[in-house]
Amino acid sequence: MGSQITCSATSRRPTDTADGSCVSAPRIRHVILDRDGVLNREAHDGGYVLVPAEFDWLPGALAALALLRQAGVRITVATNQSAVGRGLMSPEQLESVHAKMRLEAAEYGGALDDVLFCPHAPEAQCDCRKPAPRLLLEAVNRSGIAGEETLVVGDDHRDLEAAARAGLSSALVLTGKGRATRAQLMRQGIATPAYDDLLQLAVAVANSAVQRQGS
């Protein structure tokens, strides 16, 4: 087996991997962001963000959204929210959480263009819960922007898998589950471009220097 080559998150030049899967991205015009662990802190003890007061922005996330907006990038949030399907919150309660997220992002200069979510519990075996690709495909369809100019950003392996199944490229952030996800991928010999947080990634996108995991 070939030696693992780790992608650099800061270099403007692509870093090749043994299988050629890590590539330098064309100009990114659309980012599809996971929510928990990327934009906001995950709930304690593996729980759920059930009310607006529990939605706590990660450091730098609001600045990242504003930077992406300034760079002319469309911003979609695509998130699994199985608390609805598990009966822990209503769709209206979820909407109130997302209303707070939308409002505060807009006030900071990083208005969100779209928010898509899967409300189903895992046992529903739906086609919209990541790693299924439906949410991401819908995001691309609604954006009118080509998949080649779209980047999926997540902290969990299922975000990256959903991107691959949708034919989209992806990048990992090391907030939320990101560090554990990177360690898991490294054990599997998979090189994945990883950024400390969403702000570091947004800087790379704005400077057309982002690297991504090829689909």
In a domain, 183, yes or no: yes
In a domain, 190, yes or no: yes
Which domain range does residue 32 map to? 24-213
Q: How many residues are present in the chain?
A: 215
Least confident window among 11-20, 25-34, 57-66, 77-86: 11-20
DSSP reduced 3-state for 195:
strand
CA distance 8 to 194: 8
Q: Give residue-wise pLDDT tens across range 147-174.
A: 999 999 999 999 999 999 999 999 999 9
Reported as a pLDDT band with limits 50, 70 and 90, residue 213 is confident
Q: Catalytic amino acids?
A: 34, 36
Count of domains forming the chain: 1
Of 21 and 113, the one with more pLDDT: 113
Q: Does residue 109 have a pLDDT over 80?
A: yes
Reported as a pLDDT band with limits 50, 70 and 90, residue 5 is very low
Reported as a pLDDT band with limits 50, 70 and 90, residue 1 is very low
- Residue 169 and residue 25 in contact, taking contact as beta carbons nearer than 8 Å: yes
- Residue 145 and residue 30 in contact, taking contact as beta carbons nearer than 8 Å: yes
Exposure of 207 by Cβ count < 10 A (0-12 exposed, 13-18 middle, 19+ buried)?
A: exposed
What are the tokens at 123? 């046992």
Q: Give residue-wise pLDDT tens across range 29-50.
A: 999 999 999 999 999 888 999 9
Q: What is the pTM of this model?
A: 0.88
Of 12 and 28, the one with more pLDDT: 28
DSSP reduced 3-state for 80:
strand
In a domain, 13, yes or no: no
> What totals of helices (H) and strands (E) does the chain contain, helices first?
6, 8
C-beta neighbour count of 60 within 10 angstroms: 18
Exposure of 15 by Cβ count < 10 A (0-12 exposed, 13-18 middle, 19+ buried)?
A: middle
Q: Does residue 3 have a pLDDT over 80?
A: no
Q: What is the CATH number of the domain that holds 110?
A: 3.40.50.1000
